């Protein structure tokens, strides 16, 4: 399977790591949309949030347990935004579930 983020997890493609545990990996986005822009991913391949089910939701829970720790480490005490894009209309470009964590400034009120 040809997956960019699986390749990052395997160390075949370099990344700027900010956090790692048994189930979760986080790294700086290569094209940041905010002063802090980190991608948080499960180590298991899940194609998008639309593929979450009871068989893999523990990996997603682990991601959400890691995010507050990551946010704290990155100094996001004033808040941040978590975004996940799904499919064509959602503008998902990498087909491995990832949560964008954006912050470090006042974010816009718009969602789209
Ligand atoms: P999405 O458009 O939601 O699928 O998000 C994919 C994100 O991955 C984009 O924000 C890209 O900037 C980011 N990205 C693509 N390639 C890399 C890479 N090699 N290292 C870090 N981030 C990447
Ligand atoms: Zn993958």
For each of the domains in the chain, give its residue range(s) and CATH number, in order of start. 4-103 (3.30.428.10)
Task: Specify the ligand 1 atom closest to the Cα of 27.
Answer: 21
Determine which helix (DSSP H) or strand (DSSP E) holds 82, and give its type and residue range: strand 80-83
Residue 47: pLDDT over 90:
yes
Determine which helix (DSSP H) or strand (DSSP E) holds 6, and give its type and residue range: helix 4-9
pTM equals: 0.98
Nearest CA to ligand 1 atom 15: 30
Determine which helix (DSSP H) or strand (DSSP E) holds 59, and give its type and residue range: helix 57-73
Confidence of residue 106 (pLDDT cuts 50, 70, 90): very high
Which residues are designated catalytic?
A: 98
Q: Provide the percentage of residues in the chain whose pLDDT is more than 90.
A: 97
Residue 1: pLDDT over 90:
no
pLDDT at residue 58, as a whole number: 98
Number of residues in the chain: 112
* Average pLDDT score over residue span 44-55: 98
Closest-approaching ligand to the CA atom of 13? 1
Per-residue pLDDT of 4-38, as tens digits, reads 999 999 999 999 999 999 999 999 999 999 999 99
């Amino acid at each position: 399977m040809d997956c960019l983020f699986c390749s990052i997890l395997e160390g075949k493609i370099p990344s700027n790591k900010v956090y790692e545990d048994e189930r979760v990996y986080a790294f700086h986005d290569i094209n940041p949309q905010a002063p802090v822009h980190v991608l948080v991913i499960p180590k298991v391949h899940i194609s998008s949030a639309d593929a979450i089910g009871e068989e893999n939701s523990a990996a997603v829970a682990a991601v959400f347990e890691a995010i507050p720790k990551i946010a704290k480490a990155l100094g996001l005490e004033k808040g941040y935004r978590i975004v996940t894009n799904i499919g064509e209309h959602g503008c998902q470009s990498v087909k491995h579930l990832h949560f964008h964590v954006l912050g470090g400034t006042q974010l816009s009120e718009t969602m789209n």
